[in-house]
């Protein structure tokens, strides 16, 4: 937050006291043109009482998610100091969009959007992201009147994958908004941006301080993401059949669960109980390939995470059955119970993740790249679906 100390002959209405801040004003009965303010905002330029000190809208304390890699921003020109460079603006022909240093959150520049009547504008950038990585997209928004805006993550076809909470005016200060998400396996380019809408063409939306932050690589709590490649003390296999010559997802080797008319095939990953997992939310992902044979339905595969609480009671979280065909990702989230409270000795030593092939089905089931990752502390908005876009 900053107060202007400059003196200027600029007359602003009380309605824009929290929007346009430039100093004290001289008495006048005529509105004047305010430099660097778009024409649609000039209607606010009417005289305040003589000697009124006008402040810039305050900027809230920015509460970035904990654990982000310092000094990293995946966006180019995040504060619009270079105008619209690197940004894409939908519906730009029917909207008034411009940069200004008069209203910005950081005292340099911000972006002003005036959607056409009952129109929508999407201000965005497209960028490549790494697979199975946690990211945060954030921006500062200021809406002085009855417009609305929300952060969005979209695929290259324009489909909305994630949407943040919609915020609307009138506001008295800048609003910090963020989305935290994890990318799929595989992933490619995605689009992040601010979706703006308005009931009329004279209600501005201001955007500043955009950022795409990244979290450091998360630890795989399962210890070994390729249970078929090596023997790991945390993986146990029933009905084991390694297929070294088959083409895995990332390697030449995967784990194949064989068919059985009267028994299930399964792999079990054991997660040792430890204090840092108490109350921790995790994201589970596995790459699966199901191939039907002989005209029979594709084999059924199930995912179960078995958790045990401090009283020894079990609960199971089920993952969705993956689609048939080439390698696809199955994901779900879960939260571990608190086991290290009043008792120093938990009732169990391990939780367990089961991946099972049901009995009596023909065809092939291949498994690879199984991970369980800690979700960063704070808000988590979800995972993105797989994308093969380069």
Give SS3 for 306: strand
Read off the CATH number of the domain in which 130 is found.
2.60.120.260
Two structure tokens written together for 44: 């606010």
Domains identified in the chain, total number? 3
| Closest C-alpha among 297, 314, 296 to residue 305 | 314
Q: Are 194 and 263 in a shared domain?
A: no
347 falls within a domain = yes
Q: Are 105 and 204 in a shared domain?
A: yes
Q: Are 261 and 361 in a shared domain?
A: yes
Q: Are 289 and 369 in a shared domain?
A: yes
Mode of pairing for the β-strands spanning 382-383 and 175-182: parallel
384 falls within a domain = no
Q: Exposed/middle/buried for 46, CB within 10 Å: 0-12, 13-18, 19+? A: middle
Q: Are 291 and 371 in a shared domain?
A: yes
pLDDT by position in tens, the chain (length 390): 333 322 222 223 333 333 333 333 333 334 444 454 544 444 443 444 454 444 555 665 556 677 888 889 999 999 988 888 899 988 654 455 666 655 667 667 888 887 776 678 899 999 999 999 999 999 999 888 888 999 999 988 889 999 999 999 888 888 899 999 999 887 788 999 999 988 666 678 889 999 999 999 888 888 755 544 444 446 776 655 555 445 666 665 677 787 766 777 888 888 888 888 888 999 998 888 888 887 778 888 888 899 888 777 788 888 777 777 678 888 899 999 888 776 667 777 888 898 888 877 788 888 888 888 999 988 888 888 775 444
222 falls within a domain = no
Q: Are 289 and 367 in a shared domain?
A: yes
Q: Are 197 and 264 in a shared domain?
A: no
| Closest C-alpha among 62, 68, 66, 30 to residue 47 | 30
pLDDT digit string (tens) for 109-121? Answer: 888 887 776 678 8
Q: Are 2 and 103 in a shared domain?
A: no
* HEC-encoded secondary structure of 223-255: CCCCCCCCCCCCEEEECCCEECCCCCCCCCCEE
299 falls within a domain = yes
pLDDT digit string (tens) for 218-229? Answer: 888 887 555 444
Give SS3 for 17: coil
Q: Are 128 and 37 in a shared domain?
A: no
The last residue of one of the domains, among 162, 180, 214, is: 214
Whole-prediction pTM value? 0.78
What is the torsion angle, in degrees rounded to the nearest 10, for the CA atoms of residue 336, residue 337, residue 342 and residue 345? -70
Segments forming the whole domain that contains residue 100: 88-214
| Closest C-alpha among 298, 336, 302 to residue 319 | 302
71 falls within a domain = no
Q: Are 95 and 179 in a shared domain?
A: yes
CA distance 253 to 230: 10
């Amino acid at each position: 937050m900053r107060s202007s100390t400059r003196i200027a002959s600029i007359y602003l209405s009380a309605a824009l006291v929290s929007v346009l801040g430039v100093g004290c004003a001289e008495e006048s009965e005529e509105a004047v043109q305010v430099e660097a303010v778009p024409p649609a905002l000039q209607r606010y330029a009417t005289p305040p009482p003589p000697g009124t000190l006008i402040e810039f809208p305050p900027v809230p304390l920015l509460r970035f998610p904990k654990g982000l890699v310092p000094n990293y921003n995946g966006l180019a020109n995040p504060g619009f100091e270079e105008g619209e460079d690197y940004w894409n603006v939908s519906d730009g022909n029917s909207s008034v969009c411009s940069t200004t240093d008069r209203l910005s959150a950081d005292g340099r520049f911000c972006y002003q959007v005036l959607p056409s009547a009952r129109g929508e504008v999407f201000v965005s950038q497209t960028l490549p992201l790494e697979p199975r990585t946690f990211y945060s997209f954030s921006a500062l928004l200021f809406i002085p009147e009855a417009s609305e805006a929300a952060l969005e993550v979209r695929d290259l076809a324009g489909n909305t994958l994630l949407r943040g909470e919609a915020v609307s005016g009138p506001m008295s200060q800048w609003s910090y908004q963020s989305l935290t998400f994890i990318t799929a396996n595989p992933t490619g380019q995605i689009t992040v941006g601010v979706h703006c809408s308005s009931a009329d063409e004279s209600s501005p939306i201001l955007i500043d301080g955009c950022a795409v932050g990244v979290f450091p690589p998360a630890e795989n709590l399962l210890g070994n993401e390729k249970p078929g490649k090596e023997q790991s003390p945390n993986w146990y296999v029933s009905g084991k059949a390694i297929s070294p010559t088959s083409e895995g997802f990332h390697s030449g080797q995967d784990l194949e669960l064989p068919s059985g008319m009267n028994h299930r095939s399964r792999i079990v990953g054991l997660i040792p109980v430890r204090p840092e997992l108490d109350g921790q939310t995790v994201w589970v992902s596995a790459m699966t390939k199901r191939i039907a044979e002989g005209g029979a339905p594709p084999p059924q595969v199930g995912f179960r995470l078995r958790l045990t609480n401090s009283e020894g009671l079990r609960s199971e979280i089920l993952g969705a059955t993956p689609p048939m065909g080439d390698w696809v990702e199955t994901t779900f989230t879960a939260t571990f119970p608190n086991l290290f409270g009043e008792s120093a000795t938990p009732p169990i030593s391990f939780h367990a993740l089961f991946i099972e092939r049901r009995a009596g089905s023909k065809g092939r089931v291949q498994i690879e790249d199984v991970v369980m990752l800690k979700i960063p502390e704070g808000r988590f908005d979800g995972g993105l679906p797989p994308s093969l876009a380069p």
